[in-house]
Amino acid sequence: MKGNRVLVTGGAGFIGSHLVDELASRMLNISVLDNLSSGSLTNISQWLRDTNLSFKHADLLNIEDVAKAVEGCDTIIHLAANPEVKISTANPEVHYRQNIQATFNLLEAVRRIGSAEVFLFTSSSTVYGEASKIPTPEDYTPMKPISVYGSSKLSCEALITGYAHAYGFRAIIYRLANIVGSRNTHGVVNDFVQKLRRNPGELEVLGNGTQTKSYLFINDCIRAIETGLKRAKSRVEIFNIGSDDQIDVKSLANIVIGEMGLKNVKVTFTGGVNGGRGWPGDVKNMLLETSKLKLEGWRPRYNSEESVRLAVKDILSKNREPC
């Protein structure tokens, strides 16, 4: 990527800002586009005066802004999306517009105006739905997402795949497990910490506590994205990214309580829906097979428990709400 101009959509968000940190430290020419709906300029503040980085406060739903952003870019790194899985039940249009429509607008700009050679996209483990094979490999079928969020991510994958083959650029798609760490403003770890800050004596857990999933620390995720970018060979390459193990939500709650140094916390479970799920569309059991990426030299440094502990420590180290 040396000498390339890189566009990062959602570059002020959780994963995006960490990726910008890595790219900017290598003195690449970076354009960041973010509507700041969930991201924050604080996340990339150290680079805002860097002549190699430009920031545009814009939305992928604005076609003119998208067209200007992709012009002259060799590599598109598309992370902008609405990350809240739960919101899709109440308002599915959010995920249609902010995930599918936004991705379509970006792809159209690449087709009509851009000179992009590589299009990188962060998808989600939710595209698999309730997989019968655990750990779940990239070639698992049939893919039956059980949430509108998962459906929107799978729709984006299909669009990107079609455009890559039709218009001659390379696509790299990453299906992510639960990524945790600094700057994250959503997800179960952050939710538990904020609930316990408000009421240190009680923690309400959505579902029955048996939901079992994989958690990966942000640093491991960034290294995995870099590895895939360097090693991808096919026109369209898909990589799972996650830890080698999983933990249930009840154990996760106890980890958070322990890291916060709390005692005698009453943990209550809502019972959940549809067999103990936290919400409609919540996948109860998720663990990704990551051997494909490991063959390219990547290994996670932290397991799920270690990743959660590191994420909690980071949140607690801040004297303000995590940004």
From the centroid of its chain, how far is CA 309?
19
Is residue 106 scored above 80 in pLDDT?
A: yes
More confident: 164 or 185: 164
Mapped onto helix, strand or coil, the DSSP state of residue 61 is: coil
pLDDT score, position 2: 59
What local confidence, expressed as pLDDT, does residue 264 receive? 95
Q: Per-residue pLDDT for 323 more than 80?
A: no
Number of domains composing the chain: 2
Q: Using omega within 30 degrees of 0 as the cis cutoff, is the peptide bond preceding 135 cis?
A: yes
Same domain flag for 158 and 251: no
Q: Is 295 among the domain residues?
A: no
pLDDT of residue 91: 80
Structure tokens given for 299: 């290994």
| Residue 292, in any domain of the structure | no
Q: Does residue 296 sit within a domain?
A: no
Find the domain containing 190 and state its range.
182-214+245-284+302-317
Same domain, 268 and 163: no
Task: For residues 202 and 222, state if they share a domain.
Answer: no
CATH at residue 194: 3.90.25.10
Q: What is the mean pLDDT of residues 17-37?
A: 95
Report d(CA 125, CA 68) in Å as an integer: 32
Q: Does 322 map to a domain?
A: no
Which residue type occupies 86?
Answer: K
Same domain, 20 and 162: yes
Please state, rounded to an integer, the average pLDDT across all residues of the chain.
Answer: 93
SS3 19: helix
Please answer whether residues 213 and 178 qualify as being in contact, where contact means their C-beta atoms are separated by less than 8 angstroms. yes
pLDDT score of 1: 61
Q: Which of 73-87, 125-139, 172-186 has the lowest mean pLDDT?
A: 73-87
68 shares its domain with 167: yes
193, part of any domain: yes
Q: What percent of the chain has pLDDT over 90?
A: 87
Q: Based on the fold, state whether residues 174 and 260 are members of the same structural domain.
A: no
Which two structure tokens, joined as six digits, stand for 24? 């900017």
With beta carbons less than 8 A apart as the criterion, state whether 295 and 289 touch: no
HSE toward the beta carbon, residue 147, CA cutoff 13 A: 30
The percentage of residues in the chain with a pLDDT greater than 70, rounded to a whole number, is 96
pLDDT on residue 12:
97
**Helix/strand/coil for 203:** strand
Q: What is the pLDDT of residues 52-74, one digit of tens each?
A: 999 999 999 999 999 999 999 99
Residue 267: both structure tokens together: 């943990």
Residue 94 and residue 202 in one domain: no
End-to-end CA distance of the chain: 29
Same domain? 134 vs 186: no
Mean pLDDT confidence for 138-165: 97
CATH at residue 10: 3.40.50.720
Question: Do 196 and 109 belong to one domain?
Answer: no
User: Is the domain of 116 the same as that of 162?
Assistant: yes
Same domain, 96 and 172: yes
Tell whether 64 and 116 lie within a shared domain. Answer: yes
232 lies in a domain? yes
Q: How far is CA 9 from CA 35, 55, 107, 278, in A?
A: 9, 10, 12, 30
Q: What is the mean pLDDT of residues 15-42?
A: 95
Identify whether 323 is part of a domain.
Answer: no
Supply the DSSP string of 102-118, one letter for each residue: HHHHHHHHHHHT---SE
Question: So what's the pLDDT on residue 92?
Answer: 86
The answer, yes or no, to whether the previous bond of 145 is cis (omega within 30 of 0) is no
Q: Report pLDDT digits (tens) over 235-289.
A: 999 999 999 999 999 999 999 999 999 999 999 999 988 889 998 899 999 999 9
Q: What is the pLDDT of residue 320?
A: 46
